[in-house]
């Protein structure tokens, strides 16, 4: 390489970043059961771009196989736009209800207007019955 040719800059993300690969993000724990004819999918943990894959798979399969799907959101400790996008996609595929969201998720649903679009209920029983 001659003097004056551009040298690509090294990509470094974050302060003190190292070249060691980062550990894979912990996936949200997902459980499923049927209640009052609805498929209930319960998520536990963070639901963001790095951790939402299992929940996405479970909700997608539930929407394909059941006319009514309830997301038990009581165990979701963190949510971002990745979860909101997933909820919109599943809502478009069928009848999605969201049960027992924690305050952070309630706020996200409220400020985005999704609380007016999705069936949000206080309990899984209420969500399965509506």
Q: Mind listing the pLDDT tens digit for each residue in 57-96?
A: 999 999 999 999 999 999 999 999 999 999 999 999 888 9
Structural domain 29-129, CATH architecture = 2-Layer Sandwich (3.30)
CB crowding 2-32: b at 16 or more within 10 Å, else e? eeeeeeeeeeeeeeeeeeeeeeeeebbebee
Q: What is the pTM of this model?
A: 0.80
Given this model, what pLDDT does residue 59 score? 98
Strand partners, 34: 39
Which residues, 6 or more positions from 95, have their beta carbon under 8 angstroms from its beta carbon? Answer: 67, 68, 69, 119
Instruction: Report the DSSP pairing between strands 38-47 and 95-99.
Output: unpaired
Question: Residue 14: is its pLDDT beyond 60?
Answer: no
Question: Residue 35: is its pLDDT beyond 70?
Answer: yes
């Amino acid at each position: 390489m001659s003097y004056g040719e551009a040298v690509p800059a090294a990509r470094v993300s974050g302060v003190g970043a190292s070249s060691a690969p980062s550990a894979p993000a912990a996936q949200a724990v997902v459980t499923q059961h049927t209640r009052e004819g609805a498929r209930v999918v319960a998520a536990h943990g963070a639901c963001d771009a790095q951790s939402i894959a299992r929940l996405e798979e479970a909700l997608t399969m539930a929407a394909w196989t059941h006319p009514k799907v309830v997301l038990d959101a009581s165990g979701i400790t963190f949510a971002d736009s990745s979860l909101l996008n997933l909820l919109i996609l599943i809502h478009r595929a069928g009848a999605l209800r969201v049960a027992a969201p924690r305050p952070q998720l309630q706020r996200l649903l409220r400020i985005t207007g999704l609380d007016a679009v999705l069936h949000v209920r206080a309990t899984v029983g209420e969500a399965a019955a509506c």
